[in-house]
Every structure is written in C-alpha cells, then in structure tokens.
C-alpha cells in the first residue's frame, strides 16, 4: 500500500520527501512497528520512526531566536510563517496542531495541504540533519 493512501499520513509523506533514498515500503513497515495504526502517530512514535530509519534530527529551541520573550509567550505566539523565516538556513519538520509540515530554507512544504496558511501555531521544531532533499518540486508544495 502506498504512503499516500493512508489517513493522517503527514509524517510518512514528510519522511518520503526528506529522504527519497528510503524505500516507501520500508517507511510503511517501520511506521507500523513504531505504532502507526493507519490513522496518524503520536509525537513519540514518529520520533522513534525517525531514529529507526536513521534520520538524525535536533530539536530547535525557539527561545534562542527571541531571548527577551518568555517560553510561554513564544508558545502562544510562534506561528508557522515565523518559524519558516527564522529557520531559513535549515530543513525542518515542524509540529503544528495535529499535523507535521516541512520547512525548506524558509519555504513551507505541506503536500497534504492540511495546513491552511502560515498563521498556524507551532508546538515544536526539529532540524533534520541528514536529509536528502533537493529543491522541492511543485508536487511537494
């Protein structure tokens, strides 16, 4: 079964885009091993999947970008558009409410189009260290 055929497949699609060298079948099998049930994954499950597939990531502390703001203020006010702009030197997976998107050098990539616009609130951001992404094609945008 193709990664695209599942409901709530944003993590699987993101991995396929970030690492096109990993076969889709392997992504699917490892996702099930890590707890994917065909209808989405919890944060700890998809982080385990990244590790299992050999994808290295580092959590970005958004406080480093705004040292004068409290952590609570940042949690309330950090939007997807802001994070994309702040992390334009990196490729990141960004956790927003019930969804995961990719930012590629400042550009928001959401193949599932579940995230309407850059004003979505960001919960966490992870820099993908060993991605194999080249310039995104229109299919990815």
Cα separation, 117 vs 70, whole angstroms: 25
Indicate if 33 and 95 belong to the same structural domain. Answer: no
Indicate if 98 and 81 belong to the same structural domain. Answer: yes
In whole angstroms, how far apart are CA 28 and each of 46, 59, 61, 94? 12, 24, 30, 21
Tens of pLDDT, residue by residue, the chain (141 residues):
677 777 788 999 999 999 999 999 999 999 999 999 888 899 999 999 999 999 999 999 877 776 666 666 666 678 899 899 989 999 999 998 889 999 998 899 987 776 567 778 888 999 999 998 866 554 444
Q: What per-residue confidence (pLDDT) applies to 97?
A: 83
Indicate if 43 and 62 belong to the same structural domain. Answer: no
Indicate if 127 and 78 belong to the same structural domain. Answer: yes
Q: What per-residue confidence (pLDDT) applies to 98?
A: 84
Buried b (16+ CB within 10 A) or exposed e, 66-85: eeeeeeeebeeebebbbbbe
Indicate if 61 and 23 belong to the same structural domain. Answer: no
Q: What per-residue confidence (pLDDT) applies to 76?
A: 67
| Backbone angles phi and psi of 10, in degrees to 5 | -60, -40
Q: What per-residue confidence (pLDDT) applies to 67?
A: 67
Q: What per-residue confidence (pLDDT) applies to 115?
A: 57
Identify the domain containing residue 96 by its residue range. Answer: 57-140
Indicate if 92 and 65 belong to the same structural domain. Answer: yes
Indicate if 7 and 41 belong to the same structural domain. Answer: yes
Indicate if 8 and 41 belong to the same structural domain. Answer: yes
Indicate if 47 and 61 belong to the same structural domain. Answer: no
Q: How many domains would you assign to the chain?
A: 2
């Amino acid at each position: 079964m193709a990664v695209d055929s599942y409901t709530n497949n944003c993590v699987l699609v993101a991995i396929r885009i970030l690492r096109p060298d990993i076969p889709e079948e392997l992504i699917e099998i490892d996702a099930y091993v890590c707890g994917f049930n065909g209808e989405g994954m919890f944060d700890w499950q998809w982080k385990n999947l990244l590790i299992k597939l050999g994808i290295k990531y580092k959590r970005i502390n958004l406080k480093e970008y705004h040292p004068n703001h409290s952590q609570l203020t940042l949690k309330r006010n950090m939007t997807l558009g802001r994070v994309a702009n702040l992390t334009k030197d990196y490729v990141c997976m960004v956790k927003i409410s019930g969804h995961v998107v990719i930012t590629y050098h400042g550009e928001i990539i959401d193949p599932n189009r579940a995230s309407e616009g850059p004003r979505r609130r960001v919960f966490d951001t992870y820099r993908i260290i060993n991605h194999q992404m080249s310039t995104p094609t229109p299919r990815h945008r």
